[in-house]
Structure 1
Amino acid sequence: MKRMPAWVLALAACFCGASWAGISYQDVRDGYHASDAVVLDRAGRTVQRLRADFRERRGDWVALQDISPALQRAVILSEDRRFHDHAGVDWTAVWSAAWGNLVSGGRRGASTLSMQLLGFIDDQYRRGPGGRGIMQKLGQAYAALELEAEWSKSQILEAYLNLAAFRGELVGVDALARALFRKAPSGLETREAALAAVLLRGPNAPQAVLVRRACGLLAEMGSPEECSGLGDFVQLTLDHRPARWADGAGLAPHFARLALNGAGAAGPGARIATTLDADLQRHALAVIERNLLALGDANVSDAALVVLDNETGGVLAYVGSSGDLSGAAQVDHARALRQAGSTLKPFLYALAIEQERLTAVSLLDDGPLDLPTGNGLYIPQNYDKRFSGWVSVRGALGSSLNIPAVRALMMVTPEAFARRLAALGLPLDRSGDYYGYSLALGSADVSLLSLTNAYRALARGGVHSEPRYVVDGAGAAGSRRVAAEGAAWIVGDILADRQARARTFGFDSPLSTPFWTAVKTGTSKDMRDNWCVGWSSRYTVGVWVGNSTGVSMREVSGVSGAGPVWHEIMAYLHRHEASVQPPAPAAVRPAQVVFQDGLEPARKDYFLGDTAITQVRLARAQGAEGAAPLRIAAPADGTILALDPDIPLARQRSVFSVSGPGRGRADGLAWRVDGRLVGRGDRLEWQPEPGTHRVQLIDEHGRLRDEVGIQVRAGGR
């Protein structure tokens, strides 16, 4: 066949202003990127693909040797049957198309794969809305000759299959194979290859047209028997288009979004190295599925899990939902807000011990308690509806008794406790007075991620930092001390004490491990949520079990629902390494303690500074102060008062009152504001003065018993 002289094509290229840019195969390969960001675990293994470009759906670049030979053959037969024989322009096809268009008035094309590829890699050859003019076609043909002089046939075919649009948003063979045929590009068989090839000719052609064209191509490929049932096959295949990415890892969809946000400007094609451990993630998914199924008819369908590295804050495992078992698998339950239950008690006792209001051996009355509030009486109950009488802080926290926790909060005050929880990163959006004394029992809503990270602060001796999702080589950035190291250590020692929790949980429960761990469970009102959160020497693990709809479970508590999952994950983490209790900080002092009348067995316990004692007894004598400390009940530390401009200043008052043994004293107690005596007695009405003040309570011996800070705002005066 006589070829058109190259000078004619070159002249045409000059007339149309086009010139081949000389783009190399390697430039095209290096400039390609998938529409997804790929999330990798700490070892570089893919754990999730996450869509980052919603204009087109592109997979990874696939080498020619990894593309089905059947697809290669089908595309060449359909689009450019003399591909291996021409040098970029198929003149036989050109003359045939020209004659056919002239005689029949059709619009048959003759573009080779090389000419089509030019439109993918160079905008000047891209087909416009009105098609290509004759001069642009001639320029494209000349450029195709130059392209074939620089690229090999294999490179041209590989690039074409990776850049061609097949149907809808699907671009490239990887997206086509995984989203449409649910397999890797290497596995496409003859029928699938024929359908893919005819999609190139008409990406959005009607189903009947695709079936007719595919059947014709199958006959050319020597497989006419594949036309049997082809219509059903095409319909089923096209229905796969909206489906999720086939053959993707899909291990951590919720974590992947956090990682993508944490990676900043990561976009399409980005490969994000994260802190996740793919092996641990797979194990966690299997453990959650197995334990939820084991709960049978307990009406439980959802769970979430977070594993953190204590030192760095790296997220090692993150399960946002129970997948197919969940009625809301797309919801990230690890970040959903749920009622905390008893999981907040460790932070309460740590604050009380830090303030030296309590020690691990202080006795609290686990008896009936009625507290007047703005909404009526608050009457807390224990989980088992029974009372234990006098119990030490160690026993109260270890066995998760409710009433002693409320008594502890009366000393600390809800406002101070709420500030501590917020400092630990828990998402409290109201003041302590809003929650009231129910805050001791976990009436606030928290997320599993924030709660687990708050427990990690206890594991680090009271030092808080944010969790890390991506690998950046840095340690726990932004660390700050939130709680006293000694108080955090003592609380950890209590939560690791099997004897302390035996009253409620017994000695043989999922909370017991053959290595050192500190752990706490929680169950919210009406069994809507249950939790198990704890730490070892290296890891902090948090588990939530419940229902996305918020409906109650049936007889499922933290120790029976979340506890077994927590236990299995901890066992997996320490299958090859031990966990031992961290050494006590210098501020912690041990002492052998004896309890009066055998209230509790004698034991060695731990104290902050000079709070250590060797004997614990109840003060029963007439006039004795009793076990409760003398404290300021009102105002709470940090209270902000505002003067009302519509009420005469002389008529406005703030009430000072005491709790504990000070109630009933007429003149024995004194009140000072900023060092100035303002009155006496267990109750005082003080006229507020604008400014910041220190309120002090002085006993009859002139000793300072308690002090709080308040602020009085002028209120427009």
Structure 2
Amino acid sequence: MPADRRTHIPAKRRRLFDALAWLALALLVLTTIAHLLTRPPAMPSYDEVRKAWQPSEAWLYDRDGRLLDSERVDFARRRMAWVPLADIAKPVRDTVVASEDKRYWSHGGVDWLAIASAAKTRWTGGRSRGASTLPMQLAAFLSPELALPGQRGWLAKIRQMRAAQALASNWSREQMLEAYFNLVPLRGETQGIGAGARALFGKKPADMDRTDAALFAGLLPNPAAGAETLGTRACRAAQAKDCGPLRAAAATLVSGERIAALDPALAPHLAVRLLDKPGKRVTTTIDRRIQEAAIVALRRQLSGLGADRVRDGAVVVLDNETGDVLAYVGGVGLKSTAAQVDGANARRQAGSTLKPHLYAQVIEHRWLTAASILDDSPVQLDTASGLYVPKNYDHSFKGPVSVRHALASSLNVPAVRALVIDDVQQFRDRLWALGYHGLVEDGEYYGFSLALGSAEVSLVEQANAFRTFANAGRWTPVRFSPSDKGEAARPIVAPAAAFIVGDILADAAARTDAFGADSALRLPFWAAAKTGTSKGMRDNWCIGWSDRFTVAVWVGNLEGDSMRAVSGTSGAAPVWRDVMLALHAGSPGKAPAMPADVEARQIALPGTREPPRREYFIRGTGQAEMAAAPAASRRPRITSPVSGSVYALDPDIPLDRQRLAVAVSGEVTGYRLILDKRPLGDADAGQQILPRPGSHMLALVDPGGRLVDRARFTVR
């Protein structure tokens, strides 16, 4: 063989070898690049997914484990607790697998037959059906970067396939299907079958039927699909011959008419108060039966009164012995313009509801008894902020009245006189001890108006303070959860005083003048109650107790505008009555036993409109007769003109016919009147003042010239 030929053959082989080597290298590089480009993110384990799962809701339960309410805490997605596969109805499982991935139980994460079929269909120009398997979709749920918008090319699909194979290698089929049902995005912000079954079908996943299963499967390709598209898909998934019912059900689902009522929504305000973490489950002291009764009573009353008169209300029920909150109704919606505000926890002006605590304090100190006489007549008190002139609710005065009558009829002027006997700071401190912790100022800040409830309090504080009377003066905090640690009872009110105040507030006869003989406060068993209305008719209260329960009701407008034609007995009291009757159905309340340091005596009250009666006294303070002090024993004072008054002269009436009559009370023999530092005459001579425009000072001095009283008035 020639030498040149022997040389040519190895060279040709070398070129072929080199070409093959380069080709192999190129394939290796391309394979490496393809491997890197299609490498999926690491897939978590099933246990990691379960551990990381957090529902968007938290749940509130009553004392017996019954659901009261749920609260949305996480607003990124709406999802419920993780639903085990066994708790998902079999028709749903079977329909979804048949519709989305019919060879799910046999392939290894990728359905190669479906891929080949899809490729053939696309090659021949037919309508391609997707080849995405449930593990591929699950991989996208676990790693959203696998299914970003616009990434539908073959590289993205291969990444999703590889991720699905990784899942199939490490998870069981049941685990993958369970995770799919819990992670699948549904209509709107709903995620997972737990939230979807509730929001879209009004059911639990275990209660879904074949129609629900078909609709659920029809939602999966496009959760935002319209009714027509959804109906067609559901019909195909169900393989139904008659699609009419499925199309109708699809229209209902899309309209939102079947949005769930599984959440009873019985305590939304308490849920906001107690639920603060996703997935949190709180068992409360609430009794669902009592909660529902309170809601029904409040809703009925507000509906009856009408939104043009009053829009809002709240109810709190306590167990006297334990302090457990048995009902907590912060509002019932209806036509409220502030439905999100918690009426049971909002601070509002107390009105007359603080009076029982005031009288309990003065009775406890033995400064007054239930039979002591207080003068219900005009009074004016000098305060740091000016003259304070309290008036009664009906702007009338009853004259001499007993403490029993004054408290039962909620008279304002006697209450202010009782506070003068007591001490504003002492009364403020008593209220603080009873749990009214909104009173952060000292007594001087509130002044004598504290007797009439000028301070702001919450309904929960009111209920627990009145519960102290039911517990013979012992105070403990309320409990919202059985896990709340109890405190040792603290004696706040003397048992004798608590008993006497309770007896007064249970006395229907004593409150007849103010509330009538058969008001809403009168029950067929023993119960004590106090109503109150704040300044400007903005708040209406009724708080009372029986031997076992304390019920507090507030009615008003949370935005602060005044109610119209609503009083203590027409606003909150009917709700209080209905709740009390529901609580004691078949088991009437019983009157408390009389403490050992209380005695009962027959008492006469000459000089008043009150007939003789049997009265209770702290032992050692009882008397057989109580009467108003005679005029001669009273401190002389000017009763007219009232200090602070403004008089306007009428230009059409002669000046000497517009004289002001001066009136004084008490024994004033030898006393003199001085007007603007000039003698006017004897105090008992029926003096008259010739009015002159300007500010005037009328003074009453005793025989020794000492100032006894004065009144400043203005003439215009």
TM range (shorter): 0.7 to 0.9
Q: Which residue of structure 2 lines up, in the alignment, with residue 471 of structure 1?
A: 482
Q: Which residue of structure 2 lines up, in the alignment, with residue 593 of structure 1?
A: 603
Q: Which residue of structure 2 lines up, in the alignment, with residue 363 of structure 1?
A: 373
The one-character-per-residue Cα deviations of 1:336-377 (angstroms, maximum 9, x if unpaired) are 232222111101111222233212111100112223345554
Contact 1:89 1:145 in 2 (8 A): no
Q: For the structure 1 residues 563 and 20, does the alpha-carbon distance in structure 2 shift closer, same or farther, using more than 3 Å as the test?
A: closer
Deviation for aligned residue 1:145: 4.1
1:162 is paired with a residue whose SS is helix
Q: Which residue of structure 1 lines up, in the alignment, with residue 163 of structure 2?
A: 140
* Match runs of 1:161-310 below 5 Å: 161-185=181-205, 193=213, 196-197=216-217, 199-202=219-222, 207=225, 212=229, 215-216=232-233, 218-219=235-236, 221-223=238-240, 226=243, 237=253, 240=256, 246-260=261-275, 267-295=277-305, 299-310=309-320
Letter in 2 for 1:140: A
Q: Which residue of structure 1 lines up, in the alignment, with residue 134 of structure 2?
A: 113
Q: Which residue of structure 2 lines up, in the alignment, with residue 528 of structure 1?
A: 538
Q: How many angstroms apart in 1 are the aligned matches of 2:123 and 2:493?
A: 87
Q: How many angstroms apart in 2 are the aligned matches of 1:590 and 1:220?
A: 83
Q: How many angstroms apart in 1 are the aligned matches of 2:524 and 2:609?
A: 29
The one-character-per-residue Cα deviations of 1:308-353 (angstroms, maximum 9, x if unpaired) are 1112211111111132243332221112232222111101111222
Q: Which residue of structure 1 lines up, in the alignment, with residue 495 of structure 2?
A: 485
Q: How many angstroms apart in 2 are the aligned matches of 1:91 and 1:395?
A: 92
Deviation for aligned residue 1:565: 1.1
The one-character-per-residue Cα deviations of 1:198-256 (angstroms, maximum 9, x if unpaired) are 543455x6x57x965763563464348648996x9878756749x98542111111122
Given candidates 49, 55, 71, the residue that maps to 2:70 is: 49
Q: For the structure 1 residues 474 and 400, does the alpha-carbon distance in structure 2 shift closer, same or farther, using more than 3 Å as the test?
A: same
1:542 is paired with a residue whose SS is strand
1:500 is paired with a residue whose SS is coil
Q: Which residue of structure 1 lines up, in the alignment, with residue 59 of structure 2?
A: 38
Contact 2:400 2:628 in 1 (8 A): no
Q: Which residue of structure 2 lines up, in the alignment, with residue 645 of structure 1?
A: none
Q: For the structure 1 residues 432 and 101, does the alpha-carbon distance in structure 2 shift closer, same or farther, using more than 3 Å as the test?
A: farther
Q: TM-score, normalised by structure 1?
A: 0.73
Q: For the structure 1 residues 108 and 431, does the alpha-carbon distance in structure 2 shift closer, same or farther, using more than 3 Å as the test?
A: farther
Say yes or no: does 1:566 pair with 2:576: yes
2:197 is paired with a residue whose SS is helix
Q: How many angstroms apart in 2 are the aligned matches of 1:229 and 1:576?
A: 50
Deviation for aligned residue 1:625: 6.6
Contact 2:201 2:260 in 1 (8 A): no
2:220 is paired with a residue whose SS is helix
* Match runs of 1:616-635 below 5 Å: 616-620=626-630, 622=632, 624=633
* Match runs of 1:78-117 below 5 Å: 78-86=99-107, 88-96=109-117, 110-117=131-138
* Match runs of 1:549-564 below 5 Å: 549-564=559-574
Q: For the structure 1 residues 607 and 139, does the alpha-carbon distance in structure 2 shift closer, same or farther, using more than 3 Å as the test?
A: same
Deviation for aligned residue 1:621: 7.8
Say yes or no: does 1:340 pair with 2:340: no
Q: How many angstroms apart in 2 are the aligned matches of 1:244 and 1:522?
A: 41
The one-character-per-residue Cα deviations of 1:619-675 (angstroms, maximum 9, x if unpaired) are 4385x47899xxxxxxxxxxxxxxxxxxxxxxxxxxxxxxx99x99xxxxxxxxxxx
2:262 is paired with a residue whose SS is coil
- Structure 1: runs of 5+ lacking an equivalent: 1-11, 262-266, 629-659, 665-717
Q: For the structure 1 residues 201 and 249, does the alpha-carbon distance in structure 2 shift closer, same or farther, using more than 3 Å as the test?
A: same
Say yes or no: does 1:461 pair with 2:484: no
The one-character-per-residue Cα deviations of 1:409-439 (angstroms, maximum 9, x if unpaired) are 1222333322322332222244333332222
Q: How many angstroms apart in 2 are the aligned matches of 1:556 and 1:317?
A: 24
- Structure 2: runs of 5+ lacking an equivalent: 1-34, 638-664, 670-716
Contact 1:258 1:469 in 2 (8 A): no
1:545 is paired with a residue whose SS is strand
Q: Which residue of structure 1 lines up, in the alignment, with residue 554 of structure 2?
A: 544
Letter in 2 for 1:595: L
Q: Which residue of structure 2 lines up, in the alignment, with residue 649 of structure 1?
A: none
1:54 is paired with a residue whose SS is coil
Deviation for aligned residue 1:510: 1.4
Q: How many angstroms apart in 2 are the aligned matches of 1:151 and 1:576?
A: 57
Given candidates 88, 93, 97, the residue that maps to 1:76 is: 97
Q: How many angstroms apart in 2 are the aligned matches of 1:492 and 1:532?
A: 14
The one-character-per-residue Cα deviations of 1:452-472 (angstroms, maximum 9, x if unpaired) are 222112222333333211121
> How much is the aligned-residue C-alpha RMSD, in angstroms?
4.2
1:170 is paired with a residue whose SS is coil
Higher mean C-alpha displacement, 406-415 vs 211-220: 211-220
Deviation for aligned residue 1:573: 1.0
Given candidates 594, 613, 616, the residue that maps to 1:606 is: 616
Given candidates 420, 426, 433, the residue that maps to 1:410 is: 420
Letter in 1 for 2:616: Y
Say yes or no: does 1:352 pair with 2:367: no
The one-character-per-residue Cα deviations of 1:585-628 (angstroms, maximum 9, x if unpaired) are 44434444333457633333333354333332344385x47899
Given candidates 318, 327, 330, the residue that maps to 1:317 is: 327
Corresponding residue pairs, total: 605
Q: For the structure 1 residues 508 and 356, does the alpha-carbon distance in structure 2 shift closer, same or farther, using more than 3 Å as the test?
A: same
Letter in 2 for 1:443: S
The one-character-per-residue Cα deviations of 1:379-422 (angstroms, maximum 9, x if unpaired) are 32222332221111111101111110111112223333223223
Q: Which residue of structure 1 lines up, in the alignment, with residue 12 of structure 2?
A: none
